[in-house]
Amino acid sequence: MKIEKIELFKVPPRWLFLKMTTDDGFTGWGEPVCEGKADSVAAAVNELGAQLIGHSATDIEDAFQLMYRAGFYRGGPILTSAISGIEQAMWDIKGKALGVPVYELLGGKVREQIEVYRWIGGDHPRDTGEAAKEAVAQGYHAVKMNGTDELKWIDTYDKLEATVERVAAIREVAPNMRIAVDFHGRVHKTMAKQLLHMLEPYHLMFVEEPVLCENEEEFLELARTCHIPIATGERNFTRWGFKSMLTRGGVDILQPDVSHCGGILEARKIAAMAEAFDVAVALHCPLGPIALAACMQVDFCSPNAFIQEQSAGIHYNAGYDLLNYINNPEVFTYQDGMCGLLTKPGLGVDVNEDYVRKMAKEGHDWHNPVWRDSDGIIAEW
């Protein structure tokens, strides 16, 4: 079972899909995208994929080692996102060839379902109370919102108070809702200390990226001043990108992205590392259906995974729906805010290839917005 061909499809709203075909007719799908850098990742896939033509489609660890180590320079979001999508497709093929879901090849299931949460509020969070009502009506028990607009290094209290007001609006209409607030790296440490303290009475599920991950030494200091669980990891890649974070301490929840961190097996290894430090996992996934299915395979075999991000209703996907790209959308029909086991072989989703090819003709040119402070300095998006 040798890899014969790798094809790429850039589809709206901002995704890149990969189809791998073997010499004996098996096909597998992956999602190798770094949001806003789809063309760069596509170029990396083409370079890495050329090394894999003729390689066994089932020797996944060897393929990872080849792609990660043989190029001398390693790591970073472009290379590891390319590796991730290729690796996902290999797992899809292996599961299909053996007739089992991927989680059965990673130790088997430890749960029957995983909780999911939905995004509310948009990039500039607004009307969170009404959005929370809608989420409750849809059966969700957990939501996540961006915390702030753009912030200066030292800014005014009214911006922090606006965040608190939006969280309070959710708590008022949904007293039992689990709330996550994403600082999105927009908040510098001095302001983060103040905002965390102001949010503590609202009993948040977690605060995400309270400071940028490159300032990971600050997580421990923030954890000492506040009892809100701290989550981070979407901008970390491979197990080596999480090693010092775990040994340094201060992080309660790791959020590797299966389409960025190196793939399914790499995410499972990161989850196992986290388990050894008594740290939970909530995989990052504001992406498409293939990435979500790959996340679910890790969730179902990882005891410390406790909730899953997913992009149904997310503001990035206006006009498009991840369910349109698969023939079995019922696998992502959530009951009481939970997603049940994906039982089909491989990743568990049946990709609608005709629709993918059609939408690839439309394509996209998505890039994240560029934000500036009122004085003109580039701000974190």
Q: What is the set of active-site residues?
A: 184, 284
Q: State how far the alpha carbon of 106 is from the alpha carbons of 102, 276, 280, in Å.
A: 7, 17, 18
Positive or negative torsion for Cα 66, 67, 70, 74: negative
Q: Containing H/E element for 356?
A: helix 353-362
Closest C-alpha among 303, 294, 289 to residue 266: 294
User: Distance between CA atoms of 200 and 221, rounded to whole angstroms?
Assistant: 16
Chain center to CA of 154? 30
User: Distance between CA atoms of 133 and 171, rounded to whole angstroms?
Assistant: 10
Residue 140 exposure: Cα atoms within 13 Å on the Cβ side: 25
- Pair 17, 31: CB distance under 8 Å: yes
Contacts of 32-35 with C-beta under 8 Å, sequence gap 24+, read 32/8, 32/81, 32/82, 32/83, 32/84, 32/85, 32/86, 32/88, 32/259, 33/81, 33/85, 33/259, 33/287, 33/288, 33/291, 34/77, 34/78, 34/81, 34/260, 35/286, 35/287, 35/366, 35/368
